[in-house]
Amino acid sequence: MYYGIPFRARRLRRFYSQFVRAGALCFDVGAHAGNRVRCFRKLGARVVAIEPQPDFVRILRWLYGGDDGVEIVPQAVGRSAGSAELLVSERTPTVTTLSQAWVDNVRQEPGFTNVKWSSGGRVEVVTLQSLVERYGEPAFVKVVVEGFEADVLAGLTTPVRALSFEYVPATRDIALDCIERLAALAPYRYNWSVGETHRLQTAHWLDAAGMRAFLIGLPKGAPSGDVYASRTDARSSS
């Protein structure tokens, strides 16, 4: 599903090439099956792939364990170091999460009504800042952690060049908290893509107020997507 869709890999490379250059360092927080890892490597970047689900850690090691340009971190990322309970959806592992509050908010939403979560045991949690200190400052950070995005960014003190985080209209407050956290670190400009289109939705990037207004104005039932943030002193192709 992640590797076999025709033309998807090419579309991903074309999209991420505006953020990722050869020789850059990327963090993939919530690496899952590693299709973003593959994309970043094809663009010539080094990758730190962070994934707490043991089944997907095994997949990542099978696919990339022999690649010196990929570091696999079998941990979760949060606002502070420690441990947390992983809530696993066995049928739909893409929505496995560390956030009980997120589960409570989305379980009645269309698309989630048939999803069931169970305990996946406790996993080790590190901070994003500790990863920066261990591996270096990344040029791009992808964060998809099902309702834990604000917690991930709460553990960051370095204003990285560019990053993305998922938004879900039913839990838009999480994305709004992400914007507040980034605003405390540095001036950023924002854009977004819907679903898996990997296409920025506006030619003109928004300031923090504009991005907040967009998220607040999303109608109920609108599709989820990803917010992209770029430091205003960073070059962009837009």
Name the amino acid, one letter, at 81. Answer: A
Per-residue pLDDT for 184 more than 70? yes
Domain assignment present for residue 200? The answer is yes
- Rg of the chain's alpha carbons, rounded to an integer? 17
Q: State pLDDT tens for residues 144-153.
A: 999 999 999 9
- Average pLDDT of the residues in 21-48: 97
Residue 55 has pLDDT above 80, yes or no: yes
Question: Tens of pLDDT along 62-71?
Answer: 999 999 999 9
pTM: 0.92
- pLDDT score recorded for residue 119: 86
* Inside any domain, residue 208: yes
Residue 236 has pLDDT above 50, yes or no: no
Residue at token pair 């074309």: 14
Q: Mean per-residue pLDDT for 173-179?
A: 97
Query: Is 111 contained in some domain?
Result: no
Domain that holds residue 20: 8-81+125-231
Portion of the chain with pLDDT greater than 90, in percent: 77
pLDDT over threshold 50, residue 177: yes
Q: pLDDT tens digit string along 74-114?
A: 999 999 999 999 998 888 888 888 888 888 888 877 778 78
Percent of the chain with pLDDT over 70: 95
Q: Where are the alpha helices (DSSP H) in 31-127?
A: 35-42, 54-64, 100-106
Instruction: Examine residue 19 and state whether it is found in any structural domain, yes or no.
Output: yes
Task: Classify residue 212: in a domain, yes or no.
Answer: yes
pLDDT range class, residue 19, cuts 50, 70, 90: very high
Tell me the average pLDDT of the chain. Answer: 92
Classify residue 87: in a domain, yes or no: no
Mean per-residue pLDDT, 159-164: 98
Q: Is 94 within a domain? A: no
The pLDDT of 186-195, averaged and rounded, is 97
CATH code for the domain in which residue 157 is found:
3.40.50.150
Q: Give how far the C-alpha of residue 204 lies from the chain's centroid of Cα atoms, to the nearest Å.
A: 22
Structure tokens at 110: 């269309």
* Other C-beta atoms lying within 10 Å of the C-beta of residue 110: 9
Q: Could you give the CA distance from residue 142 to residue 37 in angstroms, rounded to a whole number?
A: 10
Give the residue, 40 or 96, on which the prediction is more confident: 40
Place of tokens 């989305």: 106
Q: So what's the pLDDT on residue 13?
A: 94
User: What are the residues facing 50 on neighbouring strands?
Assistant: 29, 73
CB 82 within 8 A of CB 76: no
Is the model's pLDDT at 207 over the cut of 50?
A: yes
* CA–CA separation, 41 and 38 (whole Å): 5
Helix 208-216 with 172-185: angle, nearest 10 deg: 170
Residue 201 domain flag = yes
Which pLDDT score, from 0 to 100, does residue 5 have?
A: 62
Please check the confidence at residue 237 and state whether its pLDDT lies above 60: no
Q: Looking at the 3D structure of the chain, how many domains does it have?
A: 1
Q: What is the mean pLDDT of residues 149-171?
A: 96
